[in-house]
């Protein structure tokens, strides 16, 4: 048996019980609070990075990255170039099956514009233990401004399933103090 239709065909003219009206008001007020909290936390909570995104081809992004690697490589580790760009320089990082390329070496307390893009599938950029998380899409260049505050070695993990080698998609980023140690 189905639910019977209302006796009065114009049901929206029926009075709303006070208990229902109270729940509607509570839900509406809570929705407003949550909306304004998102704006507040974005501006003051330092939880979300402000970013820019641009359309780009994989070939163009790969060429930009290769130019940076050719110009600023300081050494190699396990077959990967370690790139130490000058302060304030645009820094490029490629996500592709199943690697982050190249290894970046940045200076503590200095700002860089980090450009991220994928050459194949969607990947997730997760910088650990800082807990910066971004989705990296093919054909889009994600740009964030970062200023490392602590020195050390940081891991880059893909946190979007990208295929059979996903669990091996690990990268590194080094942050050195101003003296280079």
Q: Provide φ and ψ at 44, rounded to 5°.
A: -115, -15
Counting the structural domains of the chain, the total is 2
- pLDDT > 60? residue 1: no
**pLDDT at position 173:** 96
- pLDDT > 60? residue 39: yes
- pLDDT > 80? residue 48: no
Measure the CA–CA gap between 141 and 151, rounded to whole angstroms.
Answer: 26
Lowest mean pLDDT: which of 7-11, 141-145, 149-153, 172-176? Answer: 7-11
Q: Are residues 31 and 80 in the same domain?
A: no
In this structure, is residue 159 part of a structural domain?
A: yes
In this structure, is residue 2 part of a structural domain?
A: no
Q: Are residues 24 and 39 in the same domain?
A: yes
**pLDDT at position 179:** 60
Q: What percent of the chain has pLDDT over 70?
A: 93
In this structure, is residue 6 part of a structural domain?
A: no
Question: Across the strands, what pairs with 83?
Answer: 73, 104
Contact residues for 134 (Cβ-Cβ < 8 A; gap 6+): 49, 51, 116, 124, 125, 142, 144
For residue 39, the enclosing domain spans 13-44
pLDDT band at 180 (very low <50, low <70, confident <90, very high): very low
The predicted model gives 23-31 an average pLDDT of 96
Interval 70-86: pLDDT, tens: 999 999 998 999 999 99
- pLDDT > 80? residue 18: yes
| Strand locations in the chain (E) | 51-55, 73-77, 80-83, 90-96, 99-101, 103-107, 112-118, 123-128, 132-136, 140-146, 152-158, 170-176
In this structure, is residue 172 part of a structural domain?
A: yes
Burial 130-167 (b: 16+ CB within 10 A, else e): eeeebebbbebbbbbebebeebeebebbbebebeeebe
Q: Are residues 78 and 33 in the same domain?
A: no
What's 86's domain CATH number? 2.60.40.420
Q: Is the pTM of this model over 0.85?
A: no
**How many Cβ atoms from other residues are within 10 Å of residue 95's Cβ?**
28
In this structure, is residue 97 part of a structural domain?
A: yes
Q: Are residues 66 and 38 in the same domain?
A: no
């Amino acid at each position: 048996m189905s639910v019977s239709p209302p006796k009065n065909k114009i049901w929206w003219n029926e009075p709303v019980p006070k208990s229902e009206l109270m729940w509607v008001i509570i839900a509406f007020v809570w929705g407003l609070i949550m909306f304004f909290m998102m704006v507040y936390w974005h501006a003051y909570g330092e939880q979300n990075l402000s970013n820019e995104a641009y359309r780009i081809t994989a070939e163009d992004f790969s060429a930009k990255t290769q130019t940076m690697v050719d110009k600023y490589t300081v050494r190699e580790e396990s077959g990967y170039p370690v790139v130490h760009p000058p302060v304030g320089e645009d820094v490029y990082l490629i996500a592709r099956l199943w690697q982050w390329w190249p290894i970046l070496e940045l200076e503590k307390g200095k700002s860089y514009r980090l450009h991220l893009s994928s050459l194949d599938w969607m990947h997730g950029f997760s910088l650990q233990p800082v807990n910066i998380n971004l989705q990296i899409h093919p054909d889009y260049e994600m740009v964030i401004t970062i200023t490392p505050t602590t020195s050390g070695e940081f891991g880059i993990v893909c946190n979007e399933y990208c295929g059979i080698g996903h669990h091996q998609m690990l990268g590194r980023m080094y942050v050195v103090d101003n003296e280079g140690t």
